Amino acid sequence: MGGTVALVDCNNFYASCERLFQPRLQGKPVVVLSNNDGCVIARSNEAKALGIVMGDAWHLRRAEFERWGVQVRSSNYTLYGDLSARVMRVLGDFTPDLEVYSIDEAFLGLDGFADPENHARALRESVGRRTGIPVCVGISTTKTLAKVANRTAKKDPYSGGVCYLPDEASQTAALGKMELGDVWGIGRRLAPRLAALGITCPLKLRDADPTRIRERFNVVLQRTVMELQGTPCLDLEQDSPDSKTICCSRSFGRAVEGFDELAEALTAYTSYAAQKMRAQGLATAAVVVMLTTNRHKPEDAQYYATRHVRLTIGTSDTARLIRAALWGLRGIYKQGFRYKKCGILLLDLHPAQDVQGSLFLRPDRPERSALMQAMDALNARYGRDRVRYACSGQDRPWKLRAEYLSQRYTTRWGELLHV
C-alpha cells in the first residue's frame, strides 16, 4: 500500500551507445546487429519510423537499408556493459533502493520522496548530462504499473520523458491507450488465450478476478492482474541474487558437420562460461550441452539434443568443465547432420568459497562407500550439522536411506580430503 516505484529505461540503449561514440550518427537511423550480423537487435527512433522491426534479417533487407541510409553497426557488448554500469551508478545517487533489472533498465524505490515526479526529472537530466544516455522514467505504485508509466513516457511527446501515474484515474487513462500485448508479462501466446475469454485489452485484464485468472492460467498471471490493480506482488530486489545458471551459446556462420569442429567451438564456449562463473565467485557441479541443426532450414534433417553431465566434485576449473562438456557432446553428437548452433549451460551454481567441492552421492558410483565413510568421520569430528547426509541417515528409519543415497549434498571438499 502506498508504495512508489519508478522504472528507468534507457532509450534504444544499444543504438544510443553507438551514437555516444560516433556523434555523426545523431539524427540518423541506426540499427545494431546480432552475432554474425544476423538480425536487428536494436533500433534508433529514426530506424523504427522506417518500419524496421526487431529480428529483421540483415541479409534480406540490406539493399533497403542502404537505400534509406541506415547506419548499421555490429554489436559490442563490452561497450554496452560499461555504459550500463555508468548509468546505474548515477541512479544509485538518487535512491538507496535500486534494483538493476537488465542491462538497460532499473527499478527504483521512491518511498518517502515528497515529489517523485520532480525527483525523476532531476534524475533524468543527471543521467543525460553525466553519461550521454537518454532515459525515460515511469512512476507508479507497483512494478507492473511503473512499466505502464514508462511506456507512456516514451510514447507521449509532451511527457518530457517522465510519466507519473499515482492514482486509478491516471492509470486507467494510460492503460486505455495500450494493447494487451504491451503489458509486462503478456506475451505472444497469452494474449490470444486471454482474448478468447473476452479479455481483449489491458483495462479488462486489470478488472478481471485474480482468483479466476489463477484458476484458468497460473500464479504468474494472477500477480500481473493484482499489480495492475495496484497491489504490489513483486518486491524490489536490491541485492541481485547469484545467477542460477550461466549459458554460452553461439550460432555458427555456416553449417558445421564434423565432431572436431563442434568440439573446438564448445571448448571455447565452456572456457568463456567458466570465466563468467569465476568472476561471480561461483562453482558448478552440473553442465548441460546443447546441440542443434538450423531450424530455419526445413529442407535439412532436423536434430536437437541436450545432455546433462553431472560432476562428482563441484568445480570452477576450466579444464575439468571442458572435459565434462566434451563428454556430453560425444553423447549426443550424430554424424550426418548440419549443425547450426551449440552451447553450454552451467547449472546448480553455488558460491565457490563455501564449497571447494560438491559431493554427489550416487548409488552407481564406486567411490560412494569411501565418501560415506569419510562423511561419517567428518560427522563424528564436527557434529551433525556439518554433514547433512549423516543427520538424515542416523535419525530416520530405513525409508530415508533412499534419500541420502540419491540426493545431492554439498560439503567442504577440502575438509573431506583430510579425513
Partner DNA sequence: TCTGGGGTCCTAGGACCC
**Alpha-carbon distances of 132 from 9, 16, 21, 81, 88, rounded to whole Å:** 14, 8, 10, 15, 13
Residue 255 or 380: the one with the smaller Cβ distance to DNA is 255
- Taking contact as CB under 7 A, which single stretch among the options 119-127, 160-168, 181-189, 383-391 is the one that binds DNA? 181-189
Q: Does 197 bind DNA (CB under 7 A)?
A: no
Give the CA angle between residues 183, 185, 187 to the nearest 5°.
85
For DNA, the binding residue among 184, 333, 337, 389 (CB under 7 A) is: 184
Q: Please state, in angstroms and rounded to a whole number, the distance separating the CA atoms of residues 389 and 405.
A: 9
The nearest distance, CB 111 to DNA, in angstroms, is 23
- DSSP assignment, residue 358? E
The nearest distance, CB 93 to DNA, in angstroms, is 22
CB 72 within 8 A of CB 31: yes
The nearest distance, CB 52 to DNA, in angstroms, is 14
Quick count: other Cβ atoms within 10 Å of Cβ 182?
Answer: 16
* End-to-end CA gap in the chain: 55
- DSSP assignment, residue 385? G
Binding mask 53-72 for DNA (x = CB under 7 A): -xx-x-x-------------
The nearest distance, CB 117 to DNA, in angstroms, is 22
Residue 40 or 120: the one with the smaller Cβ distance to DNA is 40
The nearest distance, CB 408 to DNA, in angstroms, is 4
For DNA, the binding residue among 191, 329, 355, 390 (CB under 7 A) is: 191
The nearest distance, CB 241 to DNA, in angstroms, is 7
**Backbone conformation region of residue 134, classed left if phi is above 0, alpha if psi is from -120 to 50, else beta:** beta
Q: Does 395 bind DNA (CB under 7 A)?
A: no
Residue 219 or 370: the one with the smaller Cβ distance to DNA is 219
Q: Please state, in angstroms and rounded to a whole number, the distance separating the CA atoms of residues 393 and 375.
A: 11
Q: Please state, in angstroms and rounded to a whole number, the distance separating the CA atoms of residues 203 and 173.
A: 9
- DSSP assignment, residue 28? S
Q: Does 43 bind DNA (CB under 7 A)?
A: no
Q: Does 388 bind DNA (CB under 7 A)?
A: no
Q: Does 211 bind DNA (CB under 7 A)?
A: no
Binding positions for DNA, 227-286, rule CB under 7 A: 243-251, 253-255, 276, 286
Q: Please state, in angstroms and rounded to a whole number, the distance separating the CA atoms of residues 175 and 181.
A: 12
For DNA, the binding residue among 23, 129, 189, 385 (CB under 7 A) is: 189
Residue 338 or 419: the one with the smaller Cβ distance to DNA is 338
CA atoms within 13 A on the CB side of 206: 23
| Strand segments (E) across 91-203 | 98-102, 105-109, 135-140, 162-164
Enumerate the β-bridge partners of residue 137: 8, 162
Q: CB under 8 Å to 271, separation ≥6 — which residues?
A: 318, 322
The nearest distance, CB 242 to DNA, in angstroms, is 8
Q: Please state, in angstroms and rounded to a whole number, the distance separating the CA atoms of residues 371 and 366.
A: 10
The nearest distance, CB 42 to DNA, in angstroms, is 9
CB 181 within 8 A of CB 202: no
Size of the site for DNA (CB under 7 A): 66
Residue 59 or 129: the one with the smaller Cβ distance to DNA is 59
3-state SS, residue 333: coil
CB 139 within 8 A of CB 4: yes
Binding mask 330-369 for DNA (x = CB under 7 A): ----------xx-x-------------------xx-----
Q: Which three cell numbers mark 91? A: 541512479
Residue 96 or 395: the one with the smaller Cβ distance to DNA is 395
Element (H, E) at 343: strand 339-347
For DNA, the binding residue among 68, 185, 214, 263 (CB under 7 A) is: 185
Binding mask 69-108 for DNA (x = CB under 7 A): --------------------------------xxxxx---
Q: Does 187 bind DNA (CB under 7 A)?
A: yes
Give the residue among 184, 194, 238 at the shortest CA–CA distance from 217: 194
Binding mask 16-35 for DNA (x = CB under 7 A): ------------------xx
Residues that bind DNA (CB under 7 A): 34-36, 38-39, 41, 54-55, 57, 59, 101-105, 147, 183-191, 218-220, 243-251, 253-255, 276, 286, 288, 294, 296-297, 304-308, 310, 340-341, 343, 363-364, 397-398, 401-403, 405-408
